[in-house]
Amino acid sequence: MLVDKFQVDSPDVEYGADHITSQYSYANTNVDRDANGKWIVKPIQSKYEFRTSTKLPKLGVMLVGWGGNNGSTLTAGVLANKHGITWMTKDGLKQPNYFGSLTQAATLRLGNYKGEEVFTPFKSLLPMVKPEDIVFGGWDISSHNLADAMERAQVLDWELQRQLVPHMKEQVPLPGIYDPDFIAANQDTRADNVIKGTRSEQVEQVRQQIRTFKEEQKVDKVIVLWTANTERYSNVMNGLNDTAENLLASIERDETEVAPSSLYAVACIKEGVPFINGAPQNTFVPGLVDFAVQKNVLIAGDDFKSGQTKMKSVLVDFLVGAGIKPTSIVSYNHLGNNDGMNLSAPQTFRSKEISKSNVVDDMVASNSILYKAGEHPDHVVVIKYVPNVGDSKRAMDEYMSEIFMGGHNTISMHNVCEDSLLAAPIILDLVLLAELTSRIQFKEESKELHGFHPVAVLLSYLAKAPLVPDGTPVVNALAKQRAMLENTFRACVGLYPENNMMLGFK
């Protein structure tokens, strides 16, 4: 049973004119060791208050790489939903939807009604901006308007594209920052729409573009997301980008090792605008994280978790959790879109290889019965550019594991993922959830209300290589990431986490 609207009836929850306030008891476990070396495990409870603003802003979303496959596909998809555009294919009439979006197409359990399980849309748990109300804009190093960019991407059915052209042909990306040293040389033919000047001048121009967009579109809030080309890794060096002060000074000196993505992020932080990195490069060098924390501006990343890595974060969690020992993971990909073309350069592929390779670390570390100290499965990632397959990325994986009494188990998977159609809903979720979390404040008992840490751990579910604050455990297991997000939002309306004990039916 699906329930679109509900209200929590609890003395701990108050629905006000502008806020939902929840008094919440957080159950946790404290682990310690006494003087004799004995481990002591103690259940504890802490009192928290959550306050969520229910006033929805007019939201502007600016995409870096708006004219790429992901940006044009997301814009087209939202417009198709907004205008109710249908289209014919050889398989029949198609309706627009948001399949693949956690916020728009997933549900969560509320409880049980007369023996029947009751669910609600994820978007119904807390007030959330509607996708159709978002105002899109952004930058691209290519001057193609969004209609031409959609055609170039070759992602959507032609009959749908034809109907969307009138809605998209007037949408033209702003000039973007281009540095050929950070992406593949094969991207130079697209770069006809670029911001000139020193790095300091480029940052100031991006800041002005954000202000102008906000003013002209009359939006209350802007979120910026990088969905442009994967960059090579930046060198992290003392005196260059290790602190906020050094990073800003490096920009003023026009140091060549400051990447375009980092320049966009600095511009956003100076404007108080959240910045999300959807690519695998190390945009968030230590000085940039330091700067975001100083200014208390949301940053999140890295790299969209859409196909092969999402499967890996589920399968390895299952295997290790079942007491099965993965000993090697080999992941092969080939794709033919512009992302694949850019990744054909070794320096940009290395960024992707790093983000894909670390995804199993926390799962391996969780089971020292299977893995000795320092032991880790062999893990190899290969990506090849094959133009003929276009946006339909092929992902082939082989998981070899050790099982009972020296036996072996091999799981082979062949996954064909339409790359941009998987990524676009993730972009939508990232901006909607970033906006929602900015409206939530909380406090522990006897302390002052405050927002979440600027490094947005709650968005980890959508990232291959989750960015976390220093000292925070990195969680890659998909089920745990979703539970963290869902249970935090449940706390905002006074609902307990789902424990799946079902004691009422025992």
Angle between helices 69-83 and 419-437 (to 10 degrees): 70
Active-site pick, 393, 397, 419, 429? 393
Nearest to 392 by CA among 415, 367, 409, 369: 415
Asked if 460 contacts 466 with a C-beta cutoff of 8 angstroms, the reply is: yes
Note if 32 is an active site residue: no
Exposed/middle/buried for residue 78 (C-beta within 10 Å: 0-12, 13-18, 19+): buried
Cα 384–463–190 angle (5° rounding)? 50
290 catalytically annotated: no
302 preceded by a cis bond (ω within 30 of 0): yes
The CA distance from 74 to 424, in Å, is 5
User: Long-range CB contacts (< 8 A, 24+ apart) of 409-415?
Assistant: 409/324, 411/315, 413/311, 415/307, 415/308, 415/311
Query: Kind and range of the H or E element at 291?
Result: helix 286-295
- Asked whether the beta carbons of 419 and 69 are under 8 A apart, the reply is yes
DSSP E strands, 148-304 = 174-175, 221-226, 275-277, 299-300
Under 8 Å between Cβ of 333 and 445: no
Q: Which residues, at least 6 apart from 332, have a Cβ–Cβ distance to it below 8 Å?
A: 382, 384, 395, 396, 397
Judge whether 391 counts as a catalytic residue.
no
Q: How far is CA 352 from CA 304, 339, 380, 477, in A?
A: 11, 11, 12, 19
* Centroid of chain to Cα 21: 27
303 tagged catalytic: yes
| CA–CA dist 450, 469 (Å, integer) | 16
- Please give the DSSP secondary-structure letter assigned to residue 277: E
Placement of tokens 């404040």 in the chain: 441
| Catalytic residue (choose from 352, 356, 391, 429) | 352
Assign 470 to helix, strand or coil.
coil
Give backbone dihedrals phi and psi of 58, rounded to 5 degrees, phi first: -80, 115
Helix (H, G, I), strand (E, B) or coil at 312: helix
Contact 274, 299 (CB under 8 A): yes
Indicate which residue of 140, 290, 303, 362 is catalytic: 303
CA dist 350 and 15 (Å) reads 50
> Which is catalytic among the residues 214, 305, 312, 464?
464
Helices (H), 111-259: 146-153, 158-168, 199-217, 244-252
Query: Which amino acids are annotated catalytic?
Result: 303, 352, 393, 464
